[in-house]
Amino acid sequence: MEAAPGALLSALVMGVVEGLTEFLPVSSTGHLILLGALIGFQGPPGKAFEIAIQLGAILAVVWIYRAMLWRIAARMWFPRTAERYYATNLVLGFLPAAAIGATLHGPITTLLFTPWVVALALIAGGAVIIAIERRRSEPWIHSVAEIGPLAALLIGFGQALAMIPGTSRSGATIIVALAIGVARGAAAEFSFVLAIPTMLAATLYSLWKARAALDFAASELIAVGFAAAFAVAFATVRAVLAVIGRIGFSPFGWYRIALGLAILAWLALR
């Protein structure tokens, strides 16, 4: 059955929002929860749509870093290479979220995926971003290559906090990275690359958990959302890497606080 124009437009908007927010420190999950509730979007059953738009965003980053990823894949097996060092740090950054997520994914999804939690997490995360940007000293880790195993592990524990909707995976990793002395550009780049194994694992886990209910009947909605998420995520990541060293992360902190307060006001007046 052909999708209605209104449903296609909603799928397009959801894909754009996923691509725009997945790699910014503003919480893509929180935005999608709120937007879905606001426009009344009902995706295909079995979470096929949600999985597809997240995969689109992931593949955009894979494409941007494809040359580096090929080098890591080819040279990580040799001792004392920069690629092996990078791969080790990615594993260390990935492990905390993998371990904690596998244990607590169900309870967190059941108990915390509400607009109230999203609003409070947005405000709290925004305040932390602004505080760290104002008080941080001169960074001493200026490139991704200088991020060591301990720093990567700490960033990984920060990433685990992003299971709380509204926290933001990129926001949590960037905040921790800034707090331990990583320069803005390096913090953003490591966050983006660390997203690849983390989000791929989360996508595969979601596919496995929802395997009995997956339904790809609404293929047009899935295709539109996937394409929008890929294109917008690609443009967003390139733009952030180009300007973040100059503008910093404080504007995102203020945006989070404003959005969180607006959501609280909306919830209170409903």
pLDDT, tens only, 197-234: 988 888 887 777 766 656 666 788 889 999 999 999 99
Q: What is the pLDDT of residue 31?
A: 86
Decide if 3 contacts 221 (C-beta within 8 A).
Answer: yes
Report which of residues 113 and 223 the model is more confident about: 223
pTM for this entry:
0.85
Most confident residue range from 43-47, 50-54, 63-67, 262-266: 63-67
Q: Rounded to whole angstroms, how far apart are CA atoms 73 and 71?
A: 5
Confidence of residue 6 (pLDDT cuts 50, 70, 90): confident
Report which of residues 250 and 108 the model is more confident about: 250
Average confidence score pLDDT of the chain: 87
Pick left, alpha or beta for residue 248 (phi over 0 → left; psi -120 to 50 → alpha; otherwise beta). Answer: left
pLDDT at 1 over 70: no
Whose tokens are 């404080």? That residue is: 250
Q: What is the pLDDT of residue 139?
A: 87
Confidence of residue 70 (pLDDT cuts 50, 70, 90): very high
Q: What is the pLDDT of residue 162?
A: 82
